[in-house]
Amino acid sequence: MSLLLAIIPILIVLVGIVILKKPAWIVALIGVAITFLLAVTAFSGKPAAMLETSRSGVIAALQVAFLVWGAFSLLELMQVSSGMNRIKTTVSSLTRDRRVQIVLIAFCLGVFIEGATGNGAPAAILAPFLLGLGFQPLVAAAACLICNGVPPCFGGAGVPTIAGMSAITGTVPLEDIVAMTGRFLAAGCLVVPIVLLIVLYGAKSLKGMWGYLATVCIGMSIAMLLVSNFIGAELSDLISGVVGVIVSVAYLKLVGVKENAAYINDSSTEFETNQSNFKAFLPYLLLLILLPAVRFSFPLSALTKYGYATWIGAVIHIVVLISSFCMGCADKFLLCEKNAILKLIKPIITLCSLYALANLMNSSGMISQIAQFLADLAGKFYPAVSVLIGAIGAFITGSCLGSNKLFCMLHLEAAATLGINQIVAVTSSSAGGSLGNMICPNNIIAVNATLGLKNAEGEVFKRTIKAFIIMTVVYCVLSMVYAYLLFPAFGT
């Protein structure tokens, strides 16, 4: 009975948003109220403690909202300054093919930004970029969420793995965890861009793209494998993303992709603008420089003092301010900030409610109840089930870091009991935690907010769930192969 009660909050969110298509902020408020009642009645949570954990969730949500506000303000600035028009023209000179543009921006650049920032920032930053290039909002949102299903394990210079696994690194070496995680993500780099195009445009969209995809996917996969196994978690995403961008541009310059009329981005043509290429790209260049510079210049304890997302948001707001002066529209800075926050009121209510809901499920033991049930049911299929457990953790908490913190000890103990490789069990869950970012309601709400999408959470979910299912199957199979065939004695 307790298991059935534990999944009620998840069902409320999914049914309300995806099936009934009710406004997310209303569903979230109802969900958090019911979850609170369940926590204090069915799971023996003390009301005072549950109120405090709800408050903590709201604070965490406001920190994420600060980041989203910055991203939306940047989009406003790019539009009022006509900088986005210049970017459209420049990108079209490299390629007008939507398929190439979306892989290059959402995946290659997305992996780099995730490595620099973590916390799902690529979706908040790059979805508006794609929107500005002429992509439909639903496509931009889904693309960035799908592409962020690979790199979160090593996001923010490896925080989800280094900090998320800290409870077990006294038992299993961190370098072994990083190395095995990299072997999962290397496979993800090979598959996700292909899955992305199939989900968004159908299998026929792969025609004429195999050379480009092979170059990018193999290049990034090798980089991910080598860096994670021989350097460490801190640089795995960063270097893989840089390699992806370099080989992508090189392929387009040296070989090129034959244009297919069905995928030509007509929005990427000539537009009126008074901005130079340098000024138009300046905000994004500043982000690419400042985000990793800040991340590696300050200790993690300093960056997380006011919440991890806060420093990322602060950098984005500063970039908007600097760029407004450089682009000759400093007088529009406050207007951009004002317009952005006014459009985010309902999304912020939704985020606060969902983060509170997640904290309630965690503190009351609901998430552990679900995970333990799956673990007890798994038997010899535990490596595959650990992928699902990791995904559930990220779906609820909103991050791979949260999932790893919740379940790393559970996997270590279960693997020891079942006699399977502990490192594979733990890293399978971490890889699943990355996948969970694709379908996490918090992430969907946040990216929709940066695009101005209203009541479209269900439509975005319908797209990302397809990619999630495909990649979950891939990782489940891979976890079984790693545990029983390729690496049964890894780290021993």
Where are the alpha helices (H) located in 118-209, listed in sequence order?
Answer: 121-132, 137-147, 155-162, 174-201
**Which range is least confidently modeled, 100-114, 117-131, 448-462?**
117-131
Cα 355 versus chain centre, distance: 16
* Residue the block writes with tokens 């995730």: 114
**What phi, psi does 148 have (nearest 5°)?**
-85, 15
The more confidently predicted of residues 268 and 254 is 254
Q: Return the pLDDT at 418.
A: 86
**Which range is least confidently modeled, 276-285, 298-307, 358-367, 406-415?**
298-307
Task: Say how far apart CA 7 and CA 76 lie, in whole Å.
Answer: 39
The more confidently predicted of residues 139 and 371 is 139
Torsion of CA 22, 23, 29, 30, to 10 degrees: -10
* Residue the block writes with tokens 């079942």: 418
**Residue 48 pLDDT exceeds 90:** yes
Q: Which helix (H) or strand (E) holds 148?
A: none
Mean pLDDT within 24-28 = 86
**Residue 36 pLDDT exceeds 80:** yes
* pTM for the model: 0.83
Task: Say how far apart CA 178 and CA 50 lie, in whole Å.
Answer: 35
Greatest Cα pair distance, the chain, in angstroms, is: 66
**What phi, psi does 264 have (nearest 5°)?**
-75, 130
- Hey, what amino acid is at 251? Y
Q: Where are the domains of the chain?
A: 2-486
* Residue the block writes with tokens 């406003």: 76
- Residue 259 per-residue DSSP state: -
pLDDT digits (tens, 9 = 90+) for 139-162: 999 999 999 999 999 987 788 888
- Hey, what amino acid is at 16? G
Task: Say how far apart CA 85 and CA 101 lie, in whole Å.
Answer: 16
CA atoms within 13 A on the CB side of 122: 33
Q: Return the pLDDT at 273.
A: 58
- Judge contact between 438 and 346, C-beta under 8 A: no
- Judge contact between 245 and 65, C-beta under 8 A: no
Secondary structure of 94-144 as H, E, C letters: HCCEHHHHHHHHHHHHHHHHHHHHCCCHHHHHHHHHHHHCCCCHHHHHHHH
Q: Return the pLDDT at 234.
A: 83
Task: Say how far apart CA 278 and CA 267 lie, in whole Å.
Answer: 20
48-52: long-range pairs with CB below 8 Å, 24+ = 49/363, 50/360, 50/363, 50/364
Q: Which residues pair with 19 in a beta bridge?
A: none
**Which range is least confidently modeled, 26-40, 288-302, 428-442, 446-460?**
288-302
CA atoms within 13 A on the CB side of 421: 24
Structure tokens at 298: 């300050």
